[in-house]
Amino acid sequence: MLEFMICSMLTIFPDFLFRRYVQGKRIGREINLYSMWFELRWGITACVILTLSLITLIFYFHPSTTNVTAAFRTVTLMPESVGRVAEVFVGTNEKIAAGAPIFRLDDTEQRAALETARRRIAEIDAETAVTTTELVAADGMIAQAEGAYQQALDELETQVELNRLNPNVVARREIERRQVAVNARQGAVSAAVSNKQTLETKIGSLLPAQKASAEAALAQAQVELDKTVVRAGTAGMVQQFTLRPGDIVNPMIRSAGVLVPDDRRIGLVAGFGQIEAQVMKPGMIAEATCIGKPFTIIPMVVAEVQDVIAAGQVRAGEQLVDVQQMARGGTITTILEPLFEGQLAGIPPGSSCIANAYTSNHDELHAPDISTTRWVYLHVIDAVGLVHAMILRLQALLLPVQTLVLTGH
């Protein structure tokens, strides 16, 4: 309507002035309800064409959308594993600090695993003490084996010496038996030394490695036990939290509730039409008005423009996707941030808003090689943005009336 009124001042009104003061035709006589179209046909036709062109120009280069939401972040409350709730520490709509416990699952199994790991460490410590005692006994076994070996060696040497002095005194068989005994005693010494080395390796390498593994198992058991207590990752308020002791919580099926963080605000998420894909660019100046804060125009800036449209996404599944299933057109998701700090204060998260984005040709207008025709065209584009800004302010004025009076909300 505003565009039509503006265009009529440039087309219909001059046509009427020409008919009235040049041709002398008067309203109610030559110009009446039945002859209006014939008398003002040039102005009316030009007005319609100009209005349609102006509306197209405005809405293309200065897009507008009512699909705007003051988005905010939430955190799902859920454990890392399935379990039965044993204790609840908070209630619904309760503010909690970061790291505060929210609820605890039954930890009988985790505590048993933790105690098992502790017992295993104690068992390895006891085995280390026993092995140390065995090492002392191994020294005695080595000394005993070396003594027996020396005794057998002395006896062998005595028999060999007697056989050298008088071959008939000692039998050949007796010398061989003594030699076998020496070899056996030498083997016993080697076995005793090897046993000591085995004990030393066990004390120095095997048992420490086993203890380290047991300590790692203890740490893992402690971690699993700590996971049974679900804590807040950030400060915020607990919402939709109806969990009670005895309930089963499954992270794949049922969450415990929702935590709304204190630093939850993301900005305004707007969905512009697909036809604006070539116009929407990061850095564009925008304006918004929200139903949660009426009569207020908030200057914004386009921070991010999603380069894909969510309506065309394809996920692997058991059935092929038919294009007809994606026939519903999506929008270009855009993130709008306030131009100045704190301007979103007072707007409840989740509020519905209306937003305009404005194309700026300032840099191109100051280019030295721009043609006159394009210079005029770009000036027209920037100028008609004022019309859209006026429309947004009218919407900001009428939004409370439309919400409270016309729709009865």
Query: Which tens digit of pLDDT belongs to each residue from 372-383?
Result: 888 888 888 888
In the chain, what is the straight-line distance between the N-terminal and C-terminal CA atoms, in Å? Answer: 26
Q: Please report, for the domain that includes residue 254, its CATH number.
A: 2.40.50.100
On whether residue 321 sits in a domain, the answer given is: no
How do residues 181-211 score in pLDDT, each as one tens digit? 777 777 777 877 787 788 778 788 888 888 8
Is residue 319, in this structure, part of any structural domain at all? no
Question: Quick one: 91 exposed, middle or buried, by C-beta within 10 A (0-12, 13-18, 19+)?
Answer: exposed
pLDDT score, position 30:
67
Q: Answer with the one of 216, 239, 259 that is the final residue of a domain.
A: 259
Is position 9 within any domain? yes
User: What distance in Å separates the CA atoms of residue 192 and residue 40, rounded to the nearest whole number?
Assistant: 125
CA distance 389 to 378: 17
- Note the pLDDT of residue 233: 82
Residues 270 and 393 occupy one common structural domain: yes
Query: Are 184 and 120 in the same domain?
Result: yes
Q: Looking at residue 169, what is its pLDDT? A: 61
Is residue 381 domain-shared with residue 331, that is, in the same domain?
A: yes
Statement to judge: residues 209 and 284 lie in one domain: no
As for how many domains the chain has, the answer is: 4
- Asked if 270 and 378 sit in the same domain, the reply is yes
268 and 182 in a common domain = no
Instruction: Look at residues 200, 224, 248 and tell me which one is the last residue of a structural domain.
Output: 224
Claim: this prediction has a pTM higher than 0.75: no
Same domain? 297 vs 350 = yes
The 8 Å CB, 24+ separation contacts for 401-404 are 403/291
CATH number assigned to the domain comprising residue 128:
1.10.287
Least confident of 31-35, 216-220, 370-374: 31-35
Range of the domain at 310: 62-73+264-314+326-409
| Contacts with 298 (C-beta within 8 Å, 6 or more apart), sequence order | 287, 288, 289, 290, 338, 343, 344, 347
Judgement on whether residues 286 and 180 belong to the same structural domain of the protein: no
Question: Are 392 and 269 in the same domain?
Answer: yes
State residue 89's pLDDT score: 87
Question: Are 275 and 57 in contact, with CB atoms under 8 Å apart?
Answer: no
Identify whether residues 25 and 125 lie together within a single domain: no
Asked if the structure places residue 45 within a domain, the reply is yes
